[in-house]
Amino acid sequence: MVKDTKIEEPSFRYIVRVANTDLDGKKSLRLALLKIKGVGFAYSNMACTLAAVDRNARVGDLTEDEVSRIDQVVRNPASYGAPSWLFNRRRDPETGEDLHALGPELALAKDTDVKNLKMTRSFRGLRHQWGLPLRGQRTRSNFRPNKGKGSLGVKRRKGSKAGRV
C-alpha cells in the first residue's frame, strides 16, 4: 500500500500570523480563524468575504497580500462595512461605539465590565461576588462550593484509644 504524500510548494508556510495569533497553515482559512480569541464562525466567514479571499483555501497557501487583507478586516471590520450585529462590544460603555475586541483586549474588557457591576452593587455584580449563577439557574443541586471534593468525615488520630475495646 502506497501512502499518499503531498509535495509542498516552497512558498507554503506552516504558521501564519494574523491578529497576534499563530494559525495552522494546513487548515482552511475559515476554520483557522476560529483560533483567534473573539472570532467565531460567523465572524470568520464575514472576514473572508470582506477580504475577498477564498474561505476554503489553506492558510499556508495564501499570499502576503491576502494575509494582510484578512488581518486588517479582522482587526478593524467597521471600516470594511461589516454589520454591527456581528461585533462583540456593541455600545461600549466607555466610548459608546460599536467595537470588536480580540485576544487579551477582550479579556480585559470583560474583567472591566464585571468590576463595574460589582462596584455599582447591581444584582449581577453581587452574584459575581458571591460566586453564584447570574442567569436564573437553579442553585439547589448545582453550584455547590464543595461539590468535587467528596465527602468529609471525622478524622481520627492514629494513636488514639477511641475505638479500641
Q: Could you read off the pLDDT tens digit of each residue along the chain, which spans 165 residues?
A: 555 556 556 788 888 898 888 998 899 999 999 999 999 999 999 999 999 999 999 988 888 999 999 999 999 998 888 898 989 888 988 888 888 889 888 899 999 999 999 999 999 999 999 888 988 888 888 887 776 666 656 777 777 666 565
Q: Per DSSP, what are the bridge partners of residue 18? A: 21
Does the pTM of the predicted model rise above 0.75?
Answer: no
What cell does 16 get?
A: 501564519
The CA distance from 61 to 28, in Å, is: 10
The CA distance from 111 to 113, in Å, is: 5
What cell does 12 get?
A: 507554503
Q: Report CA Rg, the chain.
A: 25
DSSP letter for each residue of 10-73: TT--SEEEETTEEEETTSBHHHHGGGSTT--HHHHHHHHHHTT--TTSBGGG--HHHHHHHHHH
What lies within 8 Å, CB to CB, of 65 at 6+ separation is none
**Domain residue ranges of the chain, discontinuous segments joined by +:** 15-86, 104-141
- pLDDT (0 to 100) of residue 71: 92
Q: Per DSSP, what are the bridge partners of residue 22? A: 17
Query: Phi, psi (5° rounding) for residue 22?
Result: -85, 125
- pLDDT (0 to 100) of residue 162: 61
Q: 15-86 maps to which CATH number?
A: 1.10.8.50
Dihedral of alpha carbons 91, 96, 102, 105, sign: negative
